[in-house]
Amino acid sequence: MTSTPRPAFHDPVSPPPAGSPWTVLRLLRWSTQYLGEKGVDDGRLDVEHLLAHVLDTTRLELYLQFERPVTPDELGRFKPLLLERAGRKPLQYILGRAHFRELELEVDPRVLIPRPETEELVEAVLARVREWGREGLSAVDVGTGSGAIALSLAREGPFGRVVGIDRSAEALVVARANRERLDESVREVVELRQGDLLAALEPGERFDVVVSNPPYVSPGEYGELAPEVRVWEPEEALVAAGGGLEILRRLIREAPGTLQPGGLLALEVGAGQAEEVAGAIRDEAELGAPVVLRDLSRRDRIVTATRMD
């Protein structure tokens, strides 16, 4: 006796017959198919996150409930979320949260969605400062956005003071909300200020670390970005003049006056920008030789330098 093969997940599927409920499996398969037709890459993963959110469960639990009927109320709450994703709204904005290292951050279109590459920027900073073997360090995060870098340094590193700066008052509202969700021991370390790069600091303020994931997309590249980025994420947090290098160059010029002797400058850069950024660092007499680090995709992504004694 042979059994009928179970349909593959990505095989075409239709809505259930009239009067029959959607099951978790059918809804997952149909919604994945629908997002694919709308040009959404990796739609299955997004659908799993959205349905798990609506059902108040985990993605793993969905796989144990394939035959579970989806109630009309659950279906009614799921459908608008699916339509938002089909309209290319990023999953993180739909759910209102993004994971970043040890944090779950609130995010919305006032701030960039934090990327894995920026997690690696934080790791590069933490690895370096741990080598110093000192506590109570200070850092300034330029272009803090959601607060991802500043809050991670305060939570994970030997920092007694972290200042997060952003030009956008709206972004700082989000960063403050994320700060308030953390333990008091982290909250009391992080100060948030509005201003233009390092000009937000007081004269004479000095830090052990200056770190930034600044805007580095060129105006020409901006039009080629995916709709999830170009339509939904804040342009001012993405785009910089001068082929995407203007703000990086400003930070390199201004950082020596902000860093303590021996302090660290750490910058995230765009694809193909590392050599020019390294060259700008070499032109600054008060900065030591640049170090270029690759991300997990083997792209030159992080450039660091040390303030000369």
**280 and 140 in a common domain:** yes
- Name the β-bridge partners of 302: 268, 293
pLDDT of residue 9: 67
pLDDT of residue 226: 94
Tell whether 164 and 210 lie within a shared domain: yes
Question: Are residue 172 and residue 269 in the same domain, yes or no?
Answer: yes
Regarding whether 129 and 53 lie in a shared domain, the answer is: no
Of 87, 121, 137, the one marking the end of a domain is 87
CB 238 within 8 A of CB 217: yes
- Is 199 a member of any domain? yes
pLDDT at residue 7 in the model: 54
- Residue 78 in contact with residue 50, Cβ under 8 Å? yes
Provide, rounded to the nearest whole percent, the portion of the chain with pLDDT above 70: 97
Whether residue 266 is found in the same domain as residue 118? yes
Could you tell me if residue 265 is inside a domain? Answer: yes
| Residues in the chain where the model's pLDDT stays below 50 | 1-2, 4-5
Give residue 1's pLDDT: 45
Per-residue pLDDT tens over the stretch 70-114: 999 999 999 999 999 999 999 999 999 999 999 999 999 999 999
pLDDT recorded at residue 62: 93
Alpha carbons 146 and 2: distance in angstroms, whole number: 56
153 and 47 within one domain? no
Indicate the pairing of strand 207-212 with strand 259-268: parallel
182 found inside a domain: yes
Residues 116 and 254 in one domain: yes
Whichever domain contains 32, its CATH number is 1.10.8
Instruction: Tell me the C-alpha distance between 305 and 293, whole Å.
Output: 11
Q: What is the CATH number of the domain that holds 143?
A: 3.40.50.150
In this structure, are 117 and 229 located in the same domain? Answer: yes
Residue type, 215: P
Q: Which domain holds residue 245?
A: 109-306
- Same domain for 12 and 148: no
pLDDT for 134 equals 96
- Number of structural domains, the chain? 2
Whether residue 92 is contained in a domain is answered as: no
What's the pLDDT score for residue 12?
78
Q: Given this model, what pLDDT does residue 78 score? A: 98
Which two three-digit tokens encode residue 168?
């956008």
Answer whether residue 102 is part of any domain.
no
Q: Are residues 152 and 290 in the same domain?
A: yes
**Distance from the Cα of residue 179 to its chain's centroid:** 16
Residue whose C-alpha is closest to residue 167's, from 223, 111, 219: 111
Secondary structure of the chain in the HEC alphabet? Answer: CCCCCCCCCCCCCCCCCCCCCCEHHHHHHHHHHHHHHCCCCCHHHHHHHHHHHHHCCCHHHHCCCCCCECCHHHHHHHHHHHHHHHCCCCHHHHHCEEEECCEEEECCCCCCCCCHHHHHHHHHHHHHHHHHCCCCEEEEEECCCCCHHHHHHHHHCCEEEEEEEECCHHHHHHHHHHHHCCCHHHHCCEEEEECCHHHHCCCCCCEEEEEECCCCECHHHHCCCCHHHHCCCCHHHCECCCCCCHHHHHHHHHHHHCEEEEEEEEEECCCCCHHHHHHHHHCCCCECCCEEEECCCCCEEEEEEEECC
Average pLDDT of every residue of the chain: 94
Q: What is the pLDDT at residue 14?
A: 84
Do 224 and 143 lie in one domain? The reply is yes
Whether 61 and 127 map to the same domain: the answer is: no
